Chain A
Amino acid sequence: MINIHNEKNELIDILKILKEGRKKLLEDFLNRDPLIFIPIFKYENSPTAMNIAIENYFISWINYHFHIWKKYINSKTSKEIFLKTMDAFFCKYFGEAKKNKFPNPEFISDLIEKKRRLLQKLLDAEDKDTFNFNTLIMEYEKDKALFQRQISKLKKERM
């Protein structure tokens, strides 16, 4: 009974994080969050920029889980389960085969933040019209590939 009882508390912690994440997702839409509503109008006629903006928002939403985890998690086991869960989340998002756990939450959060900054840079470039359309697509695809590469590399290092 001891094992199950401990796991129960850890399970509740992780479920709370995921639930808070879902709550935030709905609130952002219902409260007209600028990260959603600005690009919705700004890139209405630019599907590529719109895709980048969508990815930008949902990447930042995934990262939100890394910002709130400390509020709920106290034990080492909970932290491990949290990382395992986020790993599964990434697999669902990026189709990466589930190989191993991520390192610490701060590290992966930095990685996501870096990707977000890249996406934002691409959107800024679109706004300033300094890039032409094809360059923007190329940069977008390159960014996606680089991020995927970083994730794969990280997982291989942990194997």
Chain B
Amino acid sequence: MPRRNNTTTGGLNMNDLMNEISELFSDVEMDSNVKRALIKSISLKLENAVSLATLQEKLKVLYEYEKNYLELIKEYKEEIKFAAALQEDLRKERTKFFSEALKEVSQTLKEAQVDSKVASVWIKELVDSYTKSLDLSSGLIEEHTLDMIGEIRQEAKKEAQAIRVKNDQHT
């Protein structure tokens, strides 16, 4: 007897197909052991063929989906690069501020003979304001990036749906 299998192809159930074959062989006069072995052999060959076809179908859908997703990413490549470049510029500016600009300001205050306590109060305010402005800029870029990811996801979803519909129509 064939193994229980729910694999379907073209709307036909594997079990139904095996029952049909067994029925066809029921009228054939031959040794029952040979008949069983023959049905089993046909069953195995068919099952392998059907499984392979199903797998190929699934792989095709997956391939189509991945292909479209990659094309989508390619389409947004410049936008992704743009957002990354903006964040990189901000990171560089932040680093430069703390490593160079702040030292220059501190030096200017020192050269002007500003009292060190007074200088530190003003420098603290300068750091606070400068970083607030940088954080705000970074937040705006993040917001833009999230909007872009949302748009890519939405388009990917649309593409996936279109592939599913196309595949269903094909089968």
Contacts and interface: CB of A to CB of B under 8 A. Distances in A.
A1 B133 CA distance: 28
B105 to A, nearest CB: 5
B136 A26 contact: no
A138 interface: no
A24 B93 CA distance: 14
Interface stretch (A29-37, A103-111, A122-130, A151-159): A29-37
Contacts of A81: 140
Interface residues of A, number: 33
Contacts of B126: 25, 29
Given A3-B151, A32-B108, A58 B139 contact: no
A11 interface: yes
Contacts of B151: 1, 3-4
B44 to A, nearest CB: 52
Interface residues of B, number: 36
Interface stretch (A66-74, A85-93, A113-121): A85-93
Per DSSP, chain A at the interface is helix
Interface string B117-161: 011011001100110111111011100100110010000000000
Given A32-B108, A88-B136, A1 B114 contact: no
Contacts of A18: 133, 136-137
A5 B119 CA distance: 44
A40 B141 contact: no
B112 interface: yes
A36 B136 CA distance: 24
B112 A4 contact: no
A92 B128 CA distance: 10
B31 interface: no
Given A19-B137, A40-B114, A58 B144 contact: no
Interface in B77-96: 79, 82, 86, 93
Nearest to B111: A32
B160 to A, nearest CB: 19
Contacts of B132: 89, 92-93
22 contacts: A1-B75, A3-B147, A4-B76, A4-B79, A8-B144, A11-B86, A11-B140, A18-B136, A21-B133, A22-B134, A25-B126, A25-B133, A26-B97, A26-B105, A29-B108, A29-B122, A30-B104, A36-B122, A37-B112, A40-B114, A44-B118, A54-B122
